[in-house]
A and B are shown apart, each in its own frame.
Chain A
């Protein structure tokens, strides 16, 4: 999928080194982008508009466990040594609410929702993979022009993940930790001295780099950057055995594990809301008091809400938490392949961290696989 002039993994120019992010942020702002990056708010790393390097979370790390997220102060100079933020790029590619059209009497008025020029700084490899998944959904067989405009207005600056979290498993899903495609720029943060290697992945990325102070990367820089990703890959908090998952997961329809997980599932929708690939939405029609103006809008919805499978005059199709959880997990890890040609999971671990009761998809998958006899045991 080529959006916004991305050219995939081939660097358009050799890797360079920048000493500070300040000129990069300024160049992006001059190019008309609102720069959105990690900030600390409400005791979490949140993606928000930044004006300078000062806004970035220097020395802040995080500890992520099932159902638990805490910041940890390290006190060093590193700006990106934390795992997935609760905010993925989804908030920018598919906003939580958007108006679709308005009717005044019998006349339809198109509502052209804004596609703000946003430079997302600090995107991870798993998030890039998630955007690629969303591209297949929204730009595939039935292209969504509004999604396309937003997507093209998005400038993606990956920062390679150095400190994966306790709930991360991008290595299992083949999506990280090193960003290889789908970015405009990919940075690796290095210490002593503090600097970044920069790789361009698009024409517009290369243009931004050309406009800021940089020097060619030497062998020491390149080796150090490779080490960051190599070590990160060994620090995955979680693991999933995906071999044969398209077969054994749907086949486990009657696994007793579904009852077990349903007893812990709140049906609160948090997993789907934080998931960077969950794209389900609903439409809501409202009228004004006079009845003259009608508006249709779209908002995030979830397969965990009861309304989601409501049919006219019928009870919901998936009325039990068991049925809803089974549908979600099976779709995400198995039947997504049938629909879109890839897994729906990118291994970011958000659904594990942000599940209030700490349901761990990797643990559930492992238990389900074992319960269906599809173990790795050779006897």
Chain B
């Protein structure tokens, strides 16, 4: 990442692929910090905010969305070429997103049911994360991403340091925040123990179980969690559904959702 030599600010670009725009909106949602951010980086390409397009190359590219079409598979290579650093923002770009549910089925069948003229649809069989297509410098999790974490990542790249984005479970955030454990005290199914922190334990703070928006934590034992979730009354099809949401094709969640699970290995 370039330093601000001779008064020039690093140039940032924000790109959209298959996604809902929620993560890009998180950047615009940085209302109080947006002016100070703009003072430090030149937001050169951000169609969600402005149709004025500054030419590349860019020092930092934030990429939202997954790759689902042949055109996008080509476009992400272009983005990589014009970007010094590439950071994915959100579950789609990092894990394939909710649209990766197509990976478990036949996308042609979906198209035939949804579209009047399915032959007009040119789409790939799978929805893949950016890292499956080009090298990625950092992956920011979440559906959507967390505003504080986004600012932290940009700030860290400005300071040429490692972002403080812990990969431990949501349980840590619950305890830091003082949330009651909804699994233990209420019997509410919760994916917190296998989900990476980052949201600030938002759902448990409102007595809801964690939905796993931030994907698997660094070390998970979903087999043990599933045993508990079954005790709480969840059926096998329900277990499949809770893991198959925004991070369905993340390896640990994929294994967690599969009926015939082998013993889970820790990441070494």
Contacts and interface: CB of A to CB of B under 8 A. Distances in A.
Contacts of B228: 67, 356-358
A153 to B, nearest CB: 20
B81 interface: no
B62 interface: no
A68 B156 CA distance: 41
B207 to A, nearest CB: 6
Given A265-B221, A269-B175, A273-B172, A319 B268 contact: yes
B12 interface: no
B21 interface: no
Contacts of B180: 41-44, 46, 86
A273 B266 contact: no
A12 interface: no
A270 B185 CA distance: 13
B155 A289 contact: yes
Contacts, number: 144
Interface stretch (A15-23, A51-59, A103-111, A302-310): A302-310
A356 B183 contact: yes
Interface of B: 33, 36-37, 39-40, 151-152, 154-156, 158-159, 161, 164, 166-169, 171-172, 175-178, 180-181, 183-187, 190, 192-194, 207, 218-221, 223-225, 227-228, 263, 266-268
A242 interface: no
B39 to A, nearest CB: 8
Contact of A357 (B159, B168, B178, B224): B224
Interface of A: 41-44, 46, 67-70, 86-87, 91, 96-97, 263-270, 273-274, 284-291, 299-302, 305-307, 315, 319-321, 353-358
Q: Which of B40, B155, B180, B227 has the most C-beta atoms of chain A within 10 angstroms of its own C-beta? A: B180
Contacts of A268: 169, 171, 192-194
14 contacts: A42-B186, A42-B207, A46-B178, A263-B223, A268-B171, A269-B175, A273-B171, A289-B39, A289-B158, A290-B40, A305-B172, A305-B219, A307-B218, A356-B181
Contacts of A288: 155
A96 B175 contact: yes
A269 B171 contact: yes
B171 A306 contact: no
B155 A44 contact: no
B225 A266 contact: yes
Given A287-B161, A321-B266, 13 more contacts: A44-B180, A68-B187, A91-B178, A266-B171, A266-B221, A268-B194, A270-B181, A287-B156, A289-B33, A299-B176, A302-B172, A305-B169, A320-B266
B62 to A, nearest CB: 15
Contacts of B33: 289
Contact of B159 (A269, A291, A305, A319): A291
